[in-house]
Structure 1
Amino acid sequence: MAIQEISEDEWLNMVRIGNGKDAILFSSPFCGTCKVAERMLEVVEASNVPITMYKININYAPKLREAWKISSIPCLVLLQNGEPIRFEYAMRSVNYLYDIMIK
């Protein structure tokens, strides 16, 4: 199972209704740590967490990068109704990621 890759424009144009939870992994295809983080998130996703997961290439996301002040990658942004509520830079373990997503 793969995390859905979207562009910055696709994310900015999404219509969010209700109190949906989302997670966006900001990464780069040249970042080895990002690949490990993505694999960990795929394991979390396979456990059917009630959250929609996306990934965005940080190199092509200048608006979100600046608006949310993303300082390094990988960066997992947890969102509620499209608004960031948590930024995670250290992907400690699959259990840790699972726990922060179900809260």
Structure 2
Amino acid sequence: MDSLTLEQIDEAIEHGDVVCVYLYTPICGTCQLAGRMLEIVKELFPHIKFCKTDINYIPERAVEWNIESVPCLLIFCNGKLEKKIYAFHSVPYLYETIKSFL
């Protein structure tokens, strides 16, 4: 999962049915673990767009989306923010949660 710019993320959200946006910071150990979990989940949903970005580079959007902490996974459906996940729990949990939006 490559880091994307805000413009690339906005484009994906605007044009995707289901889009997952992963917010992290590079020095966060929990974020690193969550990122590895998402890499696995991403492989299970090849038709879903997964984006990630360092929250430090999008402070205005963090406020707009009311992000409380990282790691955070945002699930957008047809351009609308549907769910925020802060506790990643496990790969099966993430899989089932994302699957529920299909």
Give the aligned partner of residue 8 of structure 2.
10
Give the aligned partner of residue 36 of structure 1.
33
Deviation per residue, 1:12-70 (Å, 9 max, x gap): 3x1634x6100001001111100100100111112235421110100001121010100
Q: Distance in 2 between matches of 1:49 and 1:11?
A: 17
1:62 pairs with 2:59: yes
Q: Distance in 2 between matches of 1:4 and 1:22?
A: 14
Match of 1:91, SS? coil
TM-score (norm 1): 0.87
Amino acid at match of 1:8: L
Match of 1:93 among 81, 90, 94: 90
Where structure 1 has 5 or more consecutive residues not aligned to the other structure, the ranges are none
1:53 pairs with 2:50: yes
Q: Distance in 2 between matches of 1:88 and 1:10?
A: 21
Structure 1 residues 47 and 10 mapped into 2: Cα distance closer, same or farther (>3 Å)?
closer
Where structure 2 has 5 or more consecutive residues not aligned to the other structure, the ranges are none
Q: Distance in 2 between matches of 1:57 and 1:92?
A: 21
Structure 1 residues 78 and 60 mapped into 2: Cα distance closer, same or farther (>3 Å)?
same
Amino acid at match of 1:42: E
Match of 1:20 among 11, 17, 36: 17
TM-score (norm 2): 0.88
Match of 1:4, SS? coil
Counterpart contact for 1:51–1:101, Cα < 8 Å: no
C-alpha RMSD over aligned residues: 1.5
Instruction: Give the structure with the larger helix fraction.
Output: 2
